[in-house]
Chain A
Amino acid sequence: MACLGKTNMDEFAMGTTGENSAFGSTLNPWDPGRVPGGSSSGSAAAVAARLVPAALGTDTGGSVRMPAAYCGVSGIKPSYGLVSRRGMVAYASSLDQAGAFAASARDLRLLLRAVAGHDPQDSTSLPQAACAAAPLGKDGLQGLKIGVAPEFFAAGVEDGVAASVREAVAALEQLGMRAVEVAMPSLAHAIPAYYVIACAEASSNLARYDGLLYGSRAAADGLDATVARSRSAGFGAEVQRRIMLGTFVLSHGYVDAYYRQALKVRQLVRRDFETAFESCDLLAAPAAPTAAPPLGSFVDDPVLMYSQDLCTAPANLAGLPAIALPCAPVGGLPAGLQLIGPMLAENLLLSAGEAYQEATEHHKALPPGCEDWA
């Protein structure tokens, strides 16, 4: 595999829109006045514009699936532990996972096969990690049950996106699968739990950036002052906000009420998924609650930006694999269907995605002025 280059992204993978980069915002190839989604913004935009056939990204709370949805490409967040995290800068270690973008689910499978596998140098790498199974094909998908949880279509999900995703579920039913309703009551608490855990882990992971042995240095008078000035000069505003929140929720007197409570909510979310998968084979949901918003939509309200992760972060909390696939556009902009599977069900997700894309054309739509490889 030949690597063509590095792409822009949100600083330390912290961002939903792609605007938190020291190099400036990545632009959405569909409309340069709109965000491409983050944090792996450049990877998604490069695949959407067909600058590259495929790209890697990381997904801690949706950073592959969100930009895939906004840019109209396919993206997968594998099961936690399927792909080695060695070489990645740690953001939230219990949630971080490497993922992939491509123009189709079939191409995603090729890239995932190349990068999946056990790595003894990543302590979280699964011993059985591999992705070599053959596609299930249409026959193998007959009768599979697709769970649809109303909580994934709750407030915040635009009507147009909800309709597009439901249309995609209907298309899967046409292929022989069957939709069933399931309940995921804990999803209402998933976003705050995700941000408490992610920020706590970030505040710990990024403590190494002290300007002495790690990170750039901004000299000041004395050791402590040099460390503080280096960190303030080197971290952008969003990273500083998350470090501050993470420091608070881990601090004496608050750790039980926030961090440990968030870990219990995480258990709730995992149990909801386990219960759901007792009555279905995979779950269908929006990948992003809206189409790509205009640049600057969340500048004055980071919490509003965080709320965009409501459909993606739950799979990270439970460590589950999830794939984003372009579905019917909304207002001329891409929308994303998300399929979530049980642990290590990548082949099921990719096979369903391949079947969906054989039956539909949404993944073939190109941004204005872009040409396909063929």
Chain B
Amino acid sequence: MKLSTAQLRQLAALARLELDDGQLRALEGDFARMMAMAEQIQQAPTAGLDGLSHVHGHGLALRADEPADAGANLAAGAVAHRDGMVVVPPVID
């Protein structure tokens, strides 16, 4: 499958990327080769198989249903924090 420049523009919008016409044209050839590679999986003999999304087969790990203070961990992982609160840049200038 080869995507046209218009289709790539739509895909870029879905991916929330701003690509100009020159970038989209440059991407056309690379993306066609990537799609050709991806299409090879159609030839694999997978009838009757379930997909494997996670090698350990379990869902989300559960912890004890007890209240815990997540503030310290949250702050430790934040770019900036003040008085136990995560500091974020203004969303609307």
Contact yes or no, A245 B89, CB < 8 A = no
Contact yes or no, B16 A207, CB < 8 A = yes
Contact yes or no, B30 A302, CB < 8 A = yes
In the assembled complex, B72 has its CB within 8 A of some CB on chain A: no
Q: Kindly name the residue among A248, A249, A266, A268 whose own CB sees the greatest number of chain B CB atoms within 10 A.
A: A248
Count of chain A residues with Cβ under 8 Å from any Cβ of B? 60
Contact yes or no, B93 A267, CB < 8 A = no
Q: Mark B10-30 against chain A: 1 for CB-CB distance below 8 A, else 0.
A: 011111111100000001001
Residue in B19, B27, B43, B56 whose CB lies within 8 Å of A80: B56
Q: Mark A267-298 against chain B: 1 for CB-CB distance below 8 A, else 0.
A: 11010000000000000000000000000000
Given A235-B17, A241-B27, A301-B33, A195 and B46 contact (CB-CB distance below 8 Å): no
Number of A-B contacts defined by CB within 8 Å: 141
In the assembled complex, A318 has its CB within 8 A of some CB on chain B: yes
In the assembled complex, A138 has its CB within 8 A of some CB on chain B: no
Q: Which residues of B contact A192 (CB under 8 A)?
A: 37-41
Docked CA distance A80–B54 (Å) = 10
Count of chain B residues with Cβ under 8 Å from any Cβ of A? 45
Given A231-B17, A249-B38, A244 and B89 contact (CB-CB distance below 8 Å): no
| Nearest chain B CB to A92 CB, angstrom units | 11
Q: Mark A243-260 against chain B: 1 for CB-CB distance below 8 A, else 0.
A: 111011101000001101
Docked CA distance A13–B41 (Å) = 24
Q: Which residues of B contact A302 (CB under 8 A)?
A: 30, 33-34
Beyond the given pairs A232-B19, A249-B38, 4 more chain A to chain B contacts, judged by CB atoms under 8 angstroms and listed by A's residue number, are A124-B54, A210-B16, A251-B14, A268-B45
23 residue pairs from A and B, CB less than 8 Å apart: A94-B54, A94-B55, A120-B61, A123-B61, A125-B61, A192-B37, A192-B38, A192-B39, A196-B38, A212-B89, A228-B13, A244-B8, A244-B27, A244-B31, A248-B3, A248-B35, A261-B42, A264-B52, A267-B50, A270-B52, A302-B34, A303-B34, A319-B55
Q: Across chains A and B, which 4 residue pairs bring their CB atoms closest together, nearest first? A: A263-B51, A319-B55, A264-B46, A228-B18
- Which A residues lie at the B interface, using CB under 8 A? 80-81, 94, 120-121, 123-126, 186, 189, 191-193, 195-196, 203, 207, 210, 212-213, 217, 219-220, 223-225, 227-229, 231-232, 235, 240-241, 243-245, 247-249, 251, 257-258, 260-268, 270, 301-303, 306, 318-319
